[in-house]
Amino acid sequence: MLNEQTILNKVKTSPGYPSKERFFKGPVAVIECPEEIPCNPCEEACPFGAIKVGEPITNLPMLIEDKCIGCGKCIANCPGLAIFLVNLNYSKDEATISIPYEFIPLPDVGEEVDVLNREGKFVCKGKVIKVNKGEDHTWVITVSIPKEFFEVARNIKPLK
């Protein structure tokens, strides 16, 4: 089994992962699509043309950083739940991460939640700051987290 650092290193080399400089310019989509499969809903969902799959349709999605304004419309449109929105400018000590969420019950705004990494392991506590209805039964949950976890925080523990 791969460890978190190995997974992160692989993710950082994908065409959908923003540069370090782009993270500091405001909210940005992070596309962690690992499979070359025929899929492009993210490309079609972006009203700014910031995601490119192109031809063939099996290409990994590429983030065009200077076009991404961090609107998050791509998050709920990804059938693989592989797109997140990171905002490192939320506050001095905290970042936000917006994640696709398909569990019930939904967390409430203000609720403290357990934040998980890509393997489903606990990373830190977070606070729900927004719950948005997305497309096709996928909700988008925005959680504030300590900034140092922005590259590893990718989900929240489902509520009971």
DSSP string, 137-153: T-EEEEEEEEGGGTTT-
- pLDDT digit string (tens) for 27-80? 999 999 988 999 999 999 999 999 999 999 999 999 999 999 999 999 999 999
Q: Give residue 138's pLDDT band: very low, low, confident or very high (50, 70, 90).
A: very high
Contacts of 59 (CB under 8 A, 6+ apart): 36, 53
At 19, is the secondary structure helix, strand, or coil? coil
Whether this prediction's pTM lies above 0.95 is answered by no
Distance CA 80, CA 92 (A): 32
Q: Quote the mean pLDDT of the chain.
A: 93
Contacts of 5 (CB under 8 A, 6+ apart): none
**Worst-scoring range by mean pLDDT, 42-56, 77-91, 127-141?**
127-141
Contacts of 63 (CB under 8 A, 6+ apart): 15, 16, 17, 18, 28, 29, 30, 31, 50, 51
